[in-house]
Structure 1
């Protein structure tokens, strides 16, 4: 059984992934577009959006740049779980 911390971390990954998807779709971009612009494998990017990949801060910056938004915008509306 996962610990409470693990459940909390997983919930945050899911919320962040959903936020990435929202922003990407608002911009009319495909996962492959964002991944290519960020220099990240498309499968890895898909796993980030699905909340199944622990994304590094470096990749958060790359994704923000690819989406042409401020990093803080990617965290807008996320709740602390």
Structure 2
């Protein structure tokens, strides 16, 4: 099954990816150009934008830096994963 046909991992990765894509488009960048600025491969960026990849903190920071945005802007208000996680 091609990656483009795979669904997002969950609501959290879907929303985060949508924010990454929106910021990239706001800057007028292709995936390739944005990935170069972020220091990651363009296929990885595509998977992030589609919500198919969950990232380590270090990569979230790299992407935010490459897109000239604070990491918190990309993360604030994303849905909390429901798979057994609690904030209490």
TM-score range, shorter chain: 0.7 to 0.9
TM-score by length of 2: 0.73
Question: What's the counterpart of residue 20 of structure 2?
Answer: 20
Q: Distance in 1 between matches of 2:13 and 2:60?
A: 12
Cα offset, 1:63, TM superposition: 0.5
The 3 A distance-change label for structure 1 pair 28 and 76 is farther
- Structure 1 residue runs without a partner (length 5+): 1-8
Q: How does 1:1-81 map to 2 (within 5 A)?
A: 10-76=10-76, 78-80=78-80
Cα offset, 1:76, TM superposition: 4.1
RMSD: 1.6
- Structure 2 residue runs without a partner (length 5+): 1-8, 82-88
TM-score by length of 1: 0.79
Cα offset, 1:78, TM superposition: 3.1
Which structure carries more helix by proportion? 1
Q: Distance in 1 between matches of 2:79 and 2:52?
A: 18
**Runs of 4+ more than 4 Å apart:** none
